[in-house]
Amino acid sequence: MSEQLAVEAVDISKRFGARWALARLSFGLPLGRSLLLTGHNGSGKTTLLRLIATASFPTAGTLRVLGHDARTGRDQLRPFVALVSHASFHYEDLSAAQNLSLSAKFLGRGGEPKLVAELLERMGLSERADSPVRQFSAGMRKRLAIARLLMKAPRVALLDEPFGELDPAGIKQMEGIIRELQGQGTSVVLATHLVEQGLSLTNERLHLEAGRKVAPS
Amino acid sequence: MTPKISLLAAAWLVLKKDWQIEWRTRARLTAIIFFSLSTLLLFSFAMGPDVTTLRAHAPGYLWLALLFASVLSLGESFRIESENQALTGLVLTPVEPRAIFVGKVFGNASLLFVLSLVLLPVTVALYDVDLSRDPLRLVLVLFLGSVGISAPGTVYSAISANARARDVMLPLLLFPVLMPLLLAAVSATKFTLQPDPQEQVDSWLKLLTAFDLIYLSVGFLLFPKVAEED
């Protein structure tokens, strides 16, 4: 069964010090389907996305992503999972082009300069390609993070508040990118407070309160 | 399927990335050069004008200046990795954590090595040492010492990068571990600058190499635990 699931969580919990960020959470997301994560601030959405991305690991329970255990199979998983998070993962003193180029080289992508130029063009960052990220606005950083996700062509895309900091044109473009990823068979897990927008882009919904799955009110 | 690059290729990319950042800002190198110049100057003033005493203590003060500067340099090296959680980004790309370790060690070591070369003429001016006695071995000692400081320094700066008192924690963790290396580096430097009637320099060089290998091996094994969140 797990081979057909993009994400399978069985009783997963995550503790930070004395606080449980996630408590005995279970759900399954079939491959190619998309999930909307909703909940108030601090409800555990970002923690769950980080667990699926293997940036962190469950304190208890079993989490399988693309059929691999998130902890023991992380080396096999990571090439196929991409996360756009509140933290942009960029080097502030490198330019947008250098940041993308570095990712392309680590990913072993051929034709790297052309790919980087295409992605920067697509995200509207061509004119600032050689500017250090330190000089970028929050929206430009988000666009660069999305470019990095596209470069990876993931099978599971994790988007934490992807519309935040984007202008209306950027939001529209982001919606297009999510639909394009879904069209390629990528499972998208989307965490957002814009529930209506999120529902229009996803097939399933998981609402969290204090780290637990609850029915949305 | 994404092609996977080798550990050495990934380490080289990490090293080049650190050089690129340093070249763009030059902040770290400038800071550590001025800091260690001031340290050497203060030590020479504290010792007084006696040339024999200055010469005798020059190797120790040179390595202390490098050690103190390394704390600044190593701390900065992981500050750029914690900003925007760039280190997590590397790990998720995915980059093998051990490749990050190797790249960061040699990135930090190259900076310290360059610093040590900059300090040599200053040491001549302030401590009246003779560099012409065994310059090749001296350069080798400086290189091995730089690697020896950087290997555990990279692990400890990664550990302390997110700690509340990181500026205090790094030297507290690092200095005790580096004591044997410092002894070997100072002694080897001494015998390249001063007469070595018993030909001890090679023994100290071997010891220095052994410390480097031990520190590199331990760091290579431990770094994945440090680089990944639990």
The ipTM value here is 0.93
Cβ–Cβ of B92/A53 closer than 8 Å? yes
Residue of B nearest to A153 (CA): B2
Instruction: Report residue A84 as tokens.
Output: 């756009």
Asked whether the beta carbons of B225 and B216 are under 8 A apart, the reply is: no
The enclosing H or E element of A62 equals strand A60-65
State the Cα–Cα distance between residues B47 and B28, nearest whole angstrom.
29
Judge: B17–A102 Cβ closer than 8 Å, yes or no: yes
Q: Which residues of B touch A75 (CB under 8 A)?
A: 94
Confidence of residue B212 (pLDDT cuts 50, 70, 90): very high
Q: Is B6 left (phi over 0), alpha (psi -120 to 50) or beta?
A: beta
Task: Look up tokens 């988000």; give the residue.
Answer: A142
Structure tokens at B222: 């431990």
Could you read off the pLDDT of A29-38 as tens digits, one per residue? 999 999 999 9
What value does the mean pLDDT of chain A take?
94
Q: What digits encode the pLDDT tens for the residues B148-173? A: 999 999 999 999 987 778 788 999 99
In the numeric block, the tokens 């500067």 are attached to B69
Lateral strand order in the sheet of A60-65: A19-30, A5-16, A60-65, A68-69
Domains of chain A: 2-92+157-214 (3.40.50.300)
* Residues of A contacting chain B (CB within 8 angstroms): 53-57, 75, 78-83, 85, 87-94, 98, 102-103, 105-109, 132, 152
CA pair distance B23, A182, nearest whole angstrom = 41
List, for residues A46-82, the tens digit of each pLDDT value: 999 999 999 999 999 999 999 999 999 999 999 999 9
Contact list in B for residue A91 (CB cut-off 8 A) is 17, 21, 80, 83-84, 86
A150-to-A116, A181, A185, B136 alpha-carbon distances in Å: 11, 9, 14, 50
Does the pLDDT value for residue B210 go beyond 60?
yes
Residue A70 — φ and ψ, nearest 5°?
Answer: -60, -30
* A205 φ, ψ (degrees, to nearest 5): -135, 140
Percent of chain A clearing pLDDT 90 (strictly above)? 92
Which among B4, B21, B93 is the nearest to A93, CB-wise?
Answer: B21
User: What count of other Cβ atoms lies within 10 Å of the Cβ of residue A138?
Assistant: 11
Query: Which token pair is B229?
Result: 């969140």
Distance from C-alpha of A164 to C-alpha of A171, rounded to nearest angstrom: 8
Q: How confident is the model at residue B3 (pLDDT cuts 50, 70, 90)?
A: low
Enter the tokens of residue B52. 């024999």
pLDDT at B217: 98
**pTM for this model (two decimals):** 0.93
Using the Cβ of B5 and the Cβ atoms of chain A, whether some distance falls under 8 Å is answered with: yes
For B80, the closest chain A residue by CA position comes to A91
pLDDT band for position A90 (cuts 50, 70, 90): very high
Which pair of structure tokens corresponds to residue B156?
Answer: 């400890």
Q: Is B84–A93 a contact, with Cβ atoms under 8 angstroms apart?
A: no
Cα torsion B34, B36, B40, B43 to 10°: value is: 110
- Which of A81, A91, A151, A165 to probe by mutation at the B interface, max B CB count within 10 Å? A91
Query: Model confidence over B88-137: pLDDT tens digits?
Result: 999 999 999 999 999 999 999 999 999 999 999 999 999 999 999 999 99
pLDDT band for B2, please (50, 70, 90 cuts). low
The reply to whether residue B92 touches residue A54, judged by beta carbons under 8 angstroms, is yes
For residue B144, give the nearest of B104, B93, B189 by alpha carbon. Answer: B189
